[in-house]
Structure 1
Amino acid sequence: MNRFDLGGKRAFVTGAASGLGQAIAIALAEAGAHVACFDLPRAAGQDETLAAISATGNRVLALEGDVTDRSSIEAAFDRAERELGEIDIAANSAGIANVSAAETMPQSQFLRMMDINLNGLFWSCQVEGRRMLERGRGSILNMASICGSTAIPGLEQVHYDATKAAVIRLTKSLAAEWAGRGVRVNCLSPGFMATPMNSRPEVAENVRKFAEMTPMKRMGQPHEVGGPAVFLASEAASYCTGVDLNIDGGFLSI
């Protein structure tokens, strides 16, 4: 079981203030890692994340920035390494979701989704990967979604689905490119999770339907993503790269 232990490791988590990013940051700390938490300035939930990580007895560092700005990520990553030490694990969870009919979606809405969910994730991987490749070791986790593999009836979010499909493909391509250089790259694809993102007014009426559509007949809880994240980040997954791990209550088995 010590292969699951992250004691002495250092992690960098984007989107750590709330939702699944928060759950992953806390889970990594509970497994023993010191954690740098990167999110927008004054992001709601950041204090709760920091308090939960501090309660584990491991070090925590709050970092502010925007994943759409590569220099912002680089500055935060540099500070994390100065204050915590060399980063072993990166989890890229920053993202947004919204809905709009495809035929009337404004160009600005489509482009913003791409800029945060896809471009921002790639900039994060690039900054993290360069440093890890220099050292010949590291584990990167990307946040995808089952929406990257299937369309959900009733959800008009073609732009969101497109970003998550791209994240899955990007993860596999990076994994293949970096596999021989000591850096593993995997992604998590949650199903319907009880997060603030799924409490948005435009999807509130669908929550009951989401639960009914899932074979387990319930929404997932954020902490249920933490365990899979710890596994993929740890030495227990040392031969896993390019994995898209579904955490969906059986949804994609239908």
Structure 2
Amino acid sequence: MSEITLNAPRLFDLSGNVALVTGAGSGIGQRIAMGLAQCGADIALIDRRTDDGLATTAAFIEKAGRKAIQIAADVTSKAALADAVARTEADLGPLSLAVNAAGIANANPAEEMEEDQYQTLMDINLKGVFLSCQAEAKAMLKHGRGSIVNIASMSGVIVNRGLSQAHYNASKAGVIHMSKSMAMEWVGRGIRVNTISPGYTATPMNTRPEMVHQTKLFEEQTPMSRMANVDEMVGPAVFLLSNAASFVTGVDLLVDGGFCCW
């Protein structure tokens, strides 16, 4: 027992690992990428953003003493993701960890929604996660080990009061069940796949000035009476990726301030 106690902190040590994070230019993906570096991993940062989001993430990681590479790629492109994984392994080493956080959100009543709005969101939120996992797993399977965490949402479990976003909810429910399915396909081949389903979180998208009234409602509806901040997604991600979760696969971890209890 004393040996287990002494080694317990190392369960969360990601030193020696190479991670790929999509959506690393802002919000949850950015903060998780930073957190993985703080725990010892080198990181490939993927985003389609054209601003300085990736550069900001990379600067933080390098200041933390880890390596980072920046790759502009669209998660709806199979070829772009294959190239991103190949570059990751060429520049940083064998890929062993991945977090797929790239995604978008918007709303419209179902009876009024245009097909393009529906399809664009599905392509990024669901197809994008599938293609990302596929590219990552192809590399991990060659190495015989890996851990993937996909960012879903509590909206994949419940229907948010007052929000007309049937397409978004369906995409996140799809991410959860698709991740469970892939976890079972790869369970005997060294790869674990899990999801994190955040509740209302103070990302740049949710803290815009025009969102003040909606944000107040989010806080009132959450049992903990506030939204999460992006820092609070780091611990769950590190846990699921690390050896602390070595017997955990196919799990959807709700990080929602108790929202789904009601």
What is the TM-score of this pair, normalised by structure 1? 0.97
1:4 paired with 2:12, answer: yes
User: Corresponding residue for 2:224?
Assistant: 216
Task: Tell me by how many angstroms 1:203 deviates.
Answer: 4.5
Q: Could you list the per-position Cα deviations for residues 217-237 of structure 1 after superposition, in whole angstroms to 9, with x for gaps in the alignment? A: 011000100011001000110
User: Corresponding residue for 1:237?
Assistant: 245
Separation in 2 of the partners of 1:245 and 1:81? 29
Task: Note if contact 2:30-2:57 (Cα within 8 Å) is conserved in structure 1.
Answer: yes
Task: Tell me by how many angstroms 1:196 deviates.
Answer: 1.3
The CA RMSD over aligned residues, in Å, is: 1.1
Separation in 2 of the partners of 1:95 and 1:69? 14
Between the two proteins, the alignment pairs up a number of residues equal to 254
Separation in 1 of the partners of 2:225 and 2:123? 34
**Structure-2 change in CA distance of 1:41 and 1:155 (3 Å):** closer
Task: Tell me by how many angstroms 1:30 deviates.
Answer: 0.5
User: Corresponding residue for 2:102?
Assistant: 94
Task: Tell me by how many angstroms 1:43 deviates.
Answer: 4.0
Task: Tell me by how many angstroms 1:200 deviates.
Answer: 5.1
1:116 paired with 2:87, answer: no
User: Corresponding residue for 1:130?
Assistant: 138
For 2:226, what is the secondary structure of its paired residue?
Answer: coil
For 1:249, what is the secondary structure of its paired residue?
Answer: coil
Provide runs of 4+ in structure 1 moved above 6 Å: none
Separation in 2 of the partners of 1:212 and 1:44? 34
1:123-162 aligned at under 5 Å gives the runs: 123-162=131-170
**Structure 1: 5+ residue stretches without partners:** none
Task: Tell me by how many angstroms 1:100 deviates.
Answer: 0.6
Q: Could you list the per-position Cα deviations for residues 48-104 of structure 1 after superposition, in whole angstroms to 9, with x for gaps in the alignment? A: 211111111000110111001110011011001000000110100000001111110
Separation in 1 of the partners of 2:22 and 2:70? 11
What is the TM-score of this pair, normalised by structure 2? 0.94
Separation in 2 of the partners of 1:168 and 1:44? 31
Task: Note if contact 2:85-2:139 (Cα within 8 Å) is conserved in structure 1.
Answer: no
Q: Structure 2: which amino acid aligns with 1:107?
A: E
Task: Note if contact 2:94-2:143 (Cα within 8 Å) is conserved in structure 1.
Answer: no
For 1:102, what is the secondary structure of its paired residue?
Answer: coil
**Structure 2: 5+ residue stretches without partners:** 1-8
Q: Could you list the per-position Cα deviations for residues 15-58 of structure 1 after superposition, in whole angstroms to 9, with x for gaps in the alignment? A: 00000000110110000000000001524522221111111100
Query: 13-22 or 202-211, which moves further after superposition?
Result: 202-211
Task: Note if contact 1:18-1:44 (Cα within 8 Å) is conserved in structure 2.
Answer: no
Task: Tell me by how many angstroms 1:199 deviates.
Answer: 3.1
Task: Note if contact 1:4-1:235 (Cα within 8 Å) is conserved in structure 2.
Answer: yes
Q: Structure 1: which amino acid aligns with 2:148?
A: I
Q: Structure 1: which amino acid aligns with 2:240?
A: L
